[in-house]
Structure 1
Amino acid sequence: MGIGTILAYCLLVFCIAGTVLVILSDDDGDSGKKVSWIIVVSLLPVIGILSYIVFGLNPRRTSKYAEYSRRLHEAFRETADSRSYRRLFGEENREKIREGYRELSVLLSHSNGTTVTDNNTVEIITSGRRKFEALVEDLENARNHIHMEYFYFRKDSGSKRIKEILMRKAREGVKVRFIHENIANIDISPRYYNEMKKAGVEVVMFTRPRINLLRFSARLNYRDHRKIVVIDGKIGYTGGMNIGNDYFLKWRDTHTRITGNAVYALQYSFLYSFLTSGGLVPDSFRELFPETGAGQKRNELVQIVPDQPVDRWPVIQMGTVWTVQHARRYIYIQTPYFVPPEPLLHALKSSALKGADVRIMIPRKADLPYMNLANKSYYTECLEAGIRIFEKKGSFIHSKTIVTDDYLSVIGSANMDYRSLELNYEINAYIFNEETAVKNREIFLEDMGECEEIVLERWKRRPWYLKLAQEVVRLFAPLL
């Protein structure tokens, strides 16, 4: 063995050891994720080390993004009227929440500080066609501004219709601001967005760290998975549906159209994303936060909760764990991807073991092949704990919803997986309202008509090679 080979071998060992030390010193406390990375780095050193640099490091947990948040909060406090500030950051509405759920609202406020809002009307949309038609009508009626932030914005017929409306409204003098996620839409050429810019739309690309390596890492790993529309500061949309024909025509998904004070929180979240992506926000926020609450058909309490990896606390994950742990009678969950972090998995099993009716609905066939194996790798222990699992046949279910005890509903962009709960920029709406919860429960029960329930005894008889494949994929669950 030559000296060159020995030196190369020593360098490789040094790099592996150094990377393992960096992984172990990460302060996020997730031992499962650390073990997964150590396995990858040890078995495939070159690929593993490069992958960790790109996917494992969090280049966004920096003071720069905390500074953006501070600047936005100060600007809002100074230029918005006191009424708007109280609606976003005041605590008087918390007393309107049913006792036992108020502490959840406090927990959720540790995202960007916004709190629960009153005087809201929420339309739950389960038809992609209905969402498309409602959105088109609201966009056509916009008079002051349109703000749009989407993970996917396709080039199919439905997407082009939305794009044409945005460009036309910009030419008419409506202020149109648009955030597009880079990696999710990597197949779309810059020309597509340049056409929007030429029409007067302010287009920004999400994730723009200054250093090239960090920019590359952030674009690949820390993705803007949110779906937000705000029209004239009075109408808001959020939920699971992106802009594309899959969502408008093919898939089963859940979205919300909101009027009322919760639109303020959607607006505030959008402005933060726009600012951190290099966009310029107005000097005065008065036009962006008009009077919205008067005259609402219903008085639903809604808390909009954004979550981002720059924050100290993963509030959506923590809020989900809290919700599962505090379910007394039932908790029903819909998610396309079921790869729960350990705290959430333990909470689900504990809730079922204490006697709550815990049901999870996922697609029979995921849109990503490896996610089929990952989803199913959790079945056995969940079924043994008494959790009921339903696989939806037919159209792919993309909904991300929770409903519990005929009071709390959660509808948003976050899946039940590591990526959504720890890496992505997400946003969920927490709705504290009996009527809305009953409707959500009825939607879940109706969807069960297109499902097959997984039976433990039959599940255990699946072929050995499927068991092996599922367990192998599960080793890498925190990295999916």
Structure 2
Amino acid sequence: MISSISGCATLPDIHQLNHAGNGNGNGNGAFAVAGSAGLLSPQKSAEILRRLQQEGKTDLLERHLAFMQEIHSKPLMVGNATRLLVDGASTYHAMFQEIRSAQDHINLETYIYDEEGIGERLGKLLVEKQAQGVQVNLMYDSIGSLSTRKEFFEELREQGINVCEFNPVNPLRGKIFSLNNRDHRKILVVDGKVGYTGGINISSVYSRSSTVRAKRTGTPHPWRDTQIEVRGPAAKEFQELFLDSWQRQQCPELARKNYYPAVAPQGITVVRTLGSSPRDEVNLIYIELLSAILHASKSIHMTMAYFVPDPQTVDALKNAAQRGVTVSLVLPSVSDVWSTLYAARSYYTELLQAGVMIYERKGALLHAKTVVIDGVWSTVGSSNIDFRSFLHNDEVNTIVLGKTFGDEMERAFAADLSASEKVDPARWEERSMVNRIRENLARMWAYFL
């Protein structure tokens, strides 16, 4: 059975949610915070969030978290250590190191798993760990990994690795296939104690060889991307998302392992990891981001690979700039998908006129999906600012509260800014008619890009 690709899913109206709520919050404005031993007292929770507010010298968190608490009761997780990983080399080094130290299990979920280069190296390492008695569970997306030999995954299965394909392209394999529903998540969980997510797939495009990049994408530019490492109680949230995906896809039965071990505090960072799926009544990643933009008081710094925003997001960015918030977007100057590049540019005029500053990243193919707001609310994940991420894909984003991680994000943003060219409003209006036509054509297909 093949489902239609012309679905009519729509995004929620955040103002209606703000007015009505959905009954999941506690209704008293208190913030739910949990640690390694469970929920903290209201007094302790308020103390932690008051500290975060004072560090950032902004009232964003109080207003934003009060709103989010009314949307859902998922607690914030305290007691974590986080690390920002910039680009493929640092990400793979950290992930490989963690995999080598695994003692119980390794859960890996990815949109793209390329066999060549890094994928081959990772495959050999996973086989080694499986032979040592560490259970390896791997989920990959059918479309994202379409170019990878089926024999490669079969060889992993033969070595005892649990392998599951998300929405197999072949409908004869007994699962309902939807072309639009893709598993765009990137999740690695090791021993239930450390989790990774971001924009980085298992792919040779992140290697140093421009020749390898050009082979897959048609562009010789290096790829610029971001991942996050989370150690501590919040690793449980990565695990819950992975195991839920595994169950929903009716994957092979998992070996009995200690998937939810007791995890001691590893730091003081406050984290929330959210997953989203077309099955959800409300896309929490979308609402979390939109609420943070609406409640921003100082700055919105966004680095985004695919930027095809819905009207609510466009209005939120414009309104923020018009009320004096510094809104800066770093977007691609080249892309592996031409239509998304021109669709993004179709929004430039109205954003520029509202005072939003737009920069195009040079010398790299931008694939990062990160935002830092008021220096204290940050997100790193797989979700782009587009209809595909918010309506059609399974996605995952980690939100980190606090100035320490916010400062790391600001430094990464500044580095991208220094390698970018600012879009001048006057010069932008002089662009060619050919490019305007391309923008209009791409915009027509925004819902499906």
Q: Give your verdict on TM over 0.5.
A: yes
**2:131 is aligned with 1:171:** yes
Structure 1 contact 94–105 (Cα < 8 Å) conserved: no
1:470 has 2:439 as partner: yes
Matching of residues 47-86 of structure 1 within 5 Å: 53-56=4-7, 86=38
For 2:150, the equivalent position in structure 1 comes to 190
> 1:426, 1:357 → 2: CA distance?
28
Corresponding residue for 1:354? 323
Instruction: Find the structure with the greater CA-based Rg.
Output: 1
Matched with 2:201 is 242
**Deviation of residue 280 (structure 1)?**
5.3
Counterpart of 1:226 in structure 2: which amino acid? R
Q: What TM-score does the superposition give when structure 1 sets the normalisation length?
A: 0.78
State the partner residue of 1:75: none
CA contact (8 A) 1:122 1:256 kept: yes
For residues 102 and 163 of structure 1, the distance between their equivalents in structure 2, rounded to whole angstroms, comes to 45
Q: Say if 2:351 is the partner of 1:382.
A: yes
| Structure 1 position 228 matched with structure 2 position 194 | no
Verify: 1:290 aligned to 2:261, yes or no: yes
> Contact between 1:325 and 1:351, CA under 8 Å: does it hold in 2?
yes
Whether contact under 8 Å (1:207, 1:276) holds in the other structure is no
How much is the aligned-residue C-alpha RMSD, in angstroms?
2.8
Partner of 2:76: 116
Q: Does residue 1:339 correspond to 2:339, yes or no?
A: no
Match of 1:154 in 2: 114
Q: Which runs of 5+ in 2 are unaligned?
A: 10-33, 54-58, 209-221
CA contact 2:103–2:191 (8 Å) conserved in 1: yes
Alignment of structure 1 residues 3-152 onto 2, 5 Å: 53-56=4-7, 86=38, 95=46, 96-97=48-49, 98=53, 100-102=60-62, 104-105=64-65, 114-152=74-112
Structure 1 443/341 Cα, relative in aligned 2: closer, same or farther at 3 Å? same
2:230 to 258, 280, 299: 258
Identify, as 1 or 2, the structure richer in strand. Answer: 2
Alpha-carbon distance in 2 for matches of 1:115, 1:157: 40
- Counterparts of 2:42 and 2:262 in 1: how far apart (Å)? 19
Amino acid at match of 2:125: I
Structure 1 residue 464, shift from structure 2 partner: 1.5
Is this contact kept in 1: 2:3–2:176, CA < 8 A? no
How far does the alpha carbon of each residue in 1:434-467 deviate from its partner, in whole angstroms, 9 at most, with x for none? 1110121121112111100001100000112211
**Bigger share in helix:** 1
Given the superposition, is the C-alpha separation of residues 293 and 104 from structure 1 closer, same or farther in structure 2, using an over 3 Å criterion? farther
The C-alpha deviation readout for 1:327-378, integer Å capped at 9, x for no partner, is 1111100111110011111111111111110011111011111122111111
Task: Please tell me whether the aligned partners of residues 115 and 149 of structure 2 are also in contact (alpha carbons under 8 angstroms).
Answer: no
Q: Which residue of 2 aligns with 1:404?
A: 373
Q: Secondary structure at the match of 1:411?
A: strand
TM-superposed CA distance for 1:214, in Å, is: 10
Report SS of the residue matched to 1:311: coil
Match of 1:415 among 379, 384, 388: 384
Question: Partner residue of 1:306?
Answer: 275
Aligned to 2:241: 269
2:19 alignment partner in structure 1: none
Cα distance in 2 for residues equivalent to 1:258 and 1:277: 26
Give the direction of change, closer, same or farther, for the CA distance of 1:371–1:173 in structure 2 (3 Å limit): same
Q: Distance in 2 between matches of 1:215 and 1:206?
A: 9
Q: 1:393 aligns with which of 346, 362, 385?
A: 362
- Pick closer, same or farther for the CA change 1:283–1:178 going to 2, 3 Å: closer
Closer, same or farther in 2 for the Cα pair 1:371/1:422, shift >3 Å?
same
The secondary structure found in structure 2 opposite 1:148 is: strand
Number of the residue aligned with 2:411: 442
Distance in 1 of aligned mates of 2:422 and 2:295? 25
The offset of 1:245, in angstroms, is 2.1
The 3 A distance-change label for structure 1 pair 405 and 57 is: closer
Deviation at 1:291, TM superposition (A): 2.4
8 Å CA contact 1:107, 1:315 repeated in 2: no
> Which consecutive residues of structure 1, in runs of 5 or more, have no partner in the other structure?
1-50, 59-81
Equivalences, count: 402
Q: Does 1:366 align with 2:335?
A: yes
Counterpart contact for 2:36–2:79, Cα < 8 Å: no
SS of residue in 2 equivalent to 1:54: coil
Alignment partners' CA distance in 2, 1:371 and 1:288: 39
Residue by residue, what CA displacement relative to the aligned partner does 1:73-127 show, whole Å, maximum 9, x if unpaired? xxxxxxxxx987936x998875333465256456667999642101111100113
Offset of residue 207 of structure 1: 2.9
